[in-house]
Amino acid sequence: MSVQHKVTVELGERTYEIIIGSGVLARAATHIAPLLPRPKLAIVADANLAESHLPILRAALNDVGIAHESYLVPSGEASKNFGQLSDLCDWLLAQKIERNDCIIALGGGVIGDLTGFAAAILRRGTRFIQIPTTLLAQVDSSIGGKTAINAPSGKNLIGAFHQPDLVLADIDVLKTLPPREVGAGYAEIVKYGALGDKAFFAWLEENGAKVLALDEAAMAEAVARSCRAKAAIVARDERETGERALLNLGHTFGHAFEALTGYDNTLLHGEAVAYGMVLAFNFSVARGHCAPEDAARLKDHIGASHLPQKMSAIGKGKFAADALVEAMSQDKKVLNGQMRFILANGLGDTFIADDVSQDELRAFLLAEGAGAA
């Protein structure tokens, strides 16, 4: 059997495992069957996977006699809405899914967030299993129990913490992703090194090209180390009262560029996070927290990974400093009117800063190439 990793998210009676490796989807029933009180479950899948990954999962369940029906959700962020949530809950009730039954989410972050939220509210909380099929979902959104739909006023504003009972990350499914999406997911892997594990960052400097080329052993190792890093943080701070906020490294800057590019294909979320991390480290140097060599290493690795490491690499003309500051002051991490940034003392050593003024931020963004108006 090819390499397989197991990571445990330690949360007392809600502890669960993440299984990572090649062929995990075809062997899914081995991991799922012991969790079921009766041989029945529901699958919620990305409609784009109806002919590729869904049949593999269904065959695995059929082989061991687990009865199941599946519900397809259209791909894309637009599916994270009340209408889709309501239809999904009606369907799950029509399938007579009980509180102790499991609902499987098969897809990327959209499917995981929507299905997880439906599971959180169905019968006041039903069990669910994440089978993430994008790199970003495997290393980030499927772990830790954040579930949500979007509101007209912002992304992920209506949701709940609801932990899955199991996460199955099959690295074979990543082989069908467009390279740009693999790169965007890779940015979240780099994030774990940059925010708390300098040795992992150095490993990525050595092995990142193999990961991006989907080398099986390198990819499984990178996903497993990322999952281990996230699991440890979630175990210590499940509800984000402190340390979990470090997972937002690069996000305050990144979200501003996503907002200004209109959440379109100009900038994928992971690409925005990649450039956001470069800015967070440059800002840390400008404020005297971080050695320039560490910021340069991050920037070089982001560039070597074909991710944006300077503002002019984001193809929508010049960004106005004032518009960027305005977007950042609307970020959902703003607390008591004060912006919050994750800044760095160095690679692998980050902290929460809530003493950044708008004037200081504007001056920094101008120095980074933003426009004066």
Question: Which residue in the set 108, 144, 254, 270 belongs to the binding site for ligand GLY (CB under 6 A)?
Answer: 144
Question: 271 an active-site residue?
Answer: no
Question: 240 an active-site residue?
Answer: yes
Position 362 contacts ligand GLY (CB under 6 A) = no
Scanning 15-23, 138-146, 198-206, 345-353 for contacts with ligand GLY by CB under 6 A, the matching segment is: 138-146
Position 46 contacts ligand GLY (CB under 6 A) = no
Work out the angle at residue 39's Cα, subtended by the Cα atoms of residues 36 and 41, and round it to the nearest 5 degrees: 75
Q: Running DSSP on this structure, what letter comes out for residue 351?
A: E
Position 140 contacts ligand GLY (CB under 6 A) = yes
Return the structure tokens found at 150. 């979007």
Q: Alpha carbon 119 to chain centroid distance?
A: 19
Return the structure tokens found at 98. 């009980």
Q: How far is CA 164 from CA 129, 141, 283, in A?
A: 5, 11, 36
- C-beta closer to ligand GLY: residue 112 or 183: 112
| Pair 334, 340: CB distance under 8 Å | yes
3-state secondary structure at position 135: helix
Question: 38 an active-site residue?
Answer: no
Closest approach of Cβ 245 to ligand GLY, in Å?
8
Scanning 70-78, 240-248, 272-280, 320-328 for contacts with ligand GLY by CB under 6 A, the matching segment is: 240-248
Position 146 contacts ligand GLY (CB under 6 A) = yes
* β-strands 102-107, 127-132 pairing: parallel
Q: State how far the Cα of 121 lies from the Cα of 125, in Å rounded to an integer.
A: 5
Q: If you count them, how many residues does the chain have?
A: 373
Scanning 35-43, 158-166, 239-247, 313-321 for contacts with ligand GLY by CB under 6 A, the matching segment is: 239-247
| Pair 112, 83: CB distance under 8 Å | no
Question: 68 an active-site residue?
Answer: no
Question: 287 an active-site residue?
Answer: no
Question: 98 an active-site residue?
Answer: no
Residue of 53, 80, 127, 146 with catalytic role: 146
Position 198 contacts ligand GLY (CB under 6 A) = no
Q: How far is CA 180 from CA 134, 176, 359, in A?
A: 12, 12, 35
Question: 368 an active-site residue?
Answer: no
Q: State how far the Cα of 68 lies from the Cα of 61, in Å rounded to an integer.
A: 8
Question: 146 an active-site residue?
Answer: yes
User: Taking the CB of residue 266, how many other CB atoms lie within 10 A of it?
Assistant: 15
243-262 positions binding ligand GLY, by CB under 6 A: 244, 247
Question: 289 an active-site residue?
Answer: no
- C-beta closer to ligand GLY: residue 248 or 284: 248
- C-beta closer to ligand GLY: residue 202 or 352: 352
Return the structure tokens found at 7. 């990571």
Catalytic positions, written as ranges:
124, 146, 188, 230, 240, 244, 248, 251, 255, 269
Q: What are the residues binding ligand GLY (CB under 6 A)?
A: 140, 144, 146, 240, 244, 247
